[in-house]
Each structure stands twice: as structure tokens, then as C-alpha cells.
Amino acid sequence: MIYATLYVLFVVAANYTAMWFLPLPVFGAVSVGTLLFGATFTLRDYMHASGRYVVYGAIAVAVALSTVLSVWFDVEWRIVVASAIAIIISEAADTEIYQALRSRSWWMRVSLSNAVSVPLDTLLFNGLAFWGVLSPSFWLSVVIGETIVKYLVGLAVGEAQWQTRRNLSK
């Protein structure tokens, strides 16, 4: 339940901070929301232990709550719509790939499902939210930077959780 709660909170916070960009020299420009959303890929992967329907339930709650709170906090409509569409499509793709790979190691399931869902989410969200709003060169730097950062944040969350579990088992 903790992973589902964190997942929903991170999605909501990511939408709220989607318009706050940080310049990162190596990765290009990255939205603060990306730093938060990158963690959702790994948090969702931990939910798979509870089953596919728990994962889809958390996705539905995240989209609904995020939409309501985004409207309440006056987040721009294009961010709200882009986020909902990107989450539904990319998270469903990730979930189905992860489920199809249940016989593989956890790291293999995470790596292969994220290899599809991270760029899919980044392209969908940024394409719907920012194409025509940002200059093409800035948009491209955002897409590249956010894809890389989402992978790195997801790996960091996974590694931190793995280290915590390992230390607790000693």
C-alpha cells in the first residue's frame, strides 16, 4: 500500500511542478516534475507484487486525483490532459510488459518495461504539453534530458530500495 500511496503522491506533485524547468548542462533542460515522475516507474514496479489490478487501480487513482488537484491548483489544461494521456498509455504499456516478463528477474522486468515506457511517456507528455509552445531545440533538449533523468531517478529509487531490503535482512 505504501508504494501505491507514494506513486499517487509523486504523480500529483510531478504535474504541479511540470512547468518548472532546471537547466542541466549534460542532460539539457529538465522539468522538476521529471525528477519526481522518474521515481514513479520504479514505485509502480514494486506494486506488481500485489497484482496487475492493484497497479491499474493506482494508475486510475493517480490520474483522477492528479486531474482534480491540477484543476484546483490552476495547472494549465494542456499539462493536465497531456499528463493523463501519457500516464494511461505509458503505464499500461509498462504494466503489460512487466507482467509478460514475470518469469524473469526483477531487474530484467524493470529494465525491459522501462525501456518502452520511459521514452513513450516522455514523448507523449512533452509532445502534447509543449509542442508548439517551446522552441523545437528547447523541446528536443527537454525530451532527451527528461528521458535520461527518468531512467537515472528510477534506477536510484530501485537501488535505494534494494540496499534497504538487503540491510534489513542482515
Number of residues assigned to the chain: 170
Q: Which fold has domain 2-168?
A: Arp2/3 complex 21 kDa subunit ARPC3 (1.10.1760)
Cα angle value 74/150/137 (rounded, 5°) = 75
- What pLDDT, in 10s, does the model give residues 54-72? 899 999 998 998 888 878 8
Confidence of residue 169 (pLDDT cuts 50, 70, 90): low
Where do the domains of the chain lie?
A: 2-168
E-strand spans in the chain? 21-24, 28-31
Rounded distance between C-alpha atoms, residue 122 and residue 116, angstroms? 10
What does pTM read for this prediction? 0.82
CA dihedral 108, 52, 162, 2 (to 10 degrees): 160
